[in-house]
Amino acid sequence: MIKQNLKYKISELEKRFHEIPTERKKLLNQFAQYISGKLKSDEEINLIFICTHNSRRSHMSQIWAQTSAEYFNVPNVKCFSGGTEATAFNPRAVKAISSFGFQIEKLDDSENPNYLVNFSDDKEPLKCFSKVYSDKANPQNNFAAIMTCSDADEKCPIVIGADERFPIRYDDPKEFDVTELEEVKYKERFGQIGIEMLYTFNKVKKKEKL
């Protein structure tokens, strides 16, 4: 069950599905169709969100996708993230996610810290840290690769083990680091990703009811 403090924020984002451009909806509908197909086959749905450094957009997408699956009661969904190289979960992204109502616990002070991101009252929190997409913490086959940045999408023409690939790219809030727009742009990007992942899983839920 989604944490109560998140439910209001989610309901507000649901009202903004109309903001998604038509061409973007076509791509998200294809993503929803993939998930629906796995559901109908009673298969586990593994989703790896990939960007270059696994520091911002891929974590944001992983968190929103898992939250959306829980919110719409879509079963058998496991969301992961990774990069073409490992760095660290960026603290600016962590701050934006926390400001939305997600409970985040930092487990250590290493250069690449581990975080627990809690979105539910009865599900295990997501363990988030920067890693390459092929890290042992992620599935090695039978997963969809969701490319959240153009750089990773172009550098990885083939994602080994993926049975499907979706170029769902987002602009990098990093461009606004150390500017007066930094906090606003990180929240804006996290909100955009939230709208699109909620839209996707809402589509899945509607197909499940048909």
Domain boundaries, the chain: 4-209
Give the Cα separation of 10 and 196 in Å (integer): 12
Q: What is the pLDDT of residues 1-21, one digit of tens each?
A: 898 999 999 999 999 999 999
Q: What is the share, in percent, of the chain residues with pLDDT greater than 70?
A: 99
* Tens of pLDDT, residues 164-194: 999 999 999 999 999 999 999 999 999 999 9
Distance (Å) of CA 191 to CA 34, 157, 182, 195: 23, 28, 14, 6
Burial class (CB in 10 A: 0-12, 13-18, 19+), 79: buried
Which of the four pLDDT bands, split at 50, 70 and 90, describes residue 154? confident
- Please, are residues 60 and 193 in contact by the beta-carbon 8 Å criterion? yes
Q: Which residues contact 149 (CB under 8 A, 6 or more apart)?
A: 51, 52, 57, 58, 169, 170, 172
208 pLDDT above the threshold of 90: no
Q: How many Å apart are CA 143 and CA 126, to the nearest integer?
A: 18
The distance in angstroms from the start CA to the end CA of the chain is 24
Mean pLDDT across the stretch 146-162?
Answer: 85
pTM over 0.85: yes
Per CATH, which fold does 4-209 belong to?
A: Rossmann fold (3.40.50)
Number of C-beta neighbours around residue 206 at 10 A = 12
d(CA 160, CA 156): 9
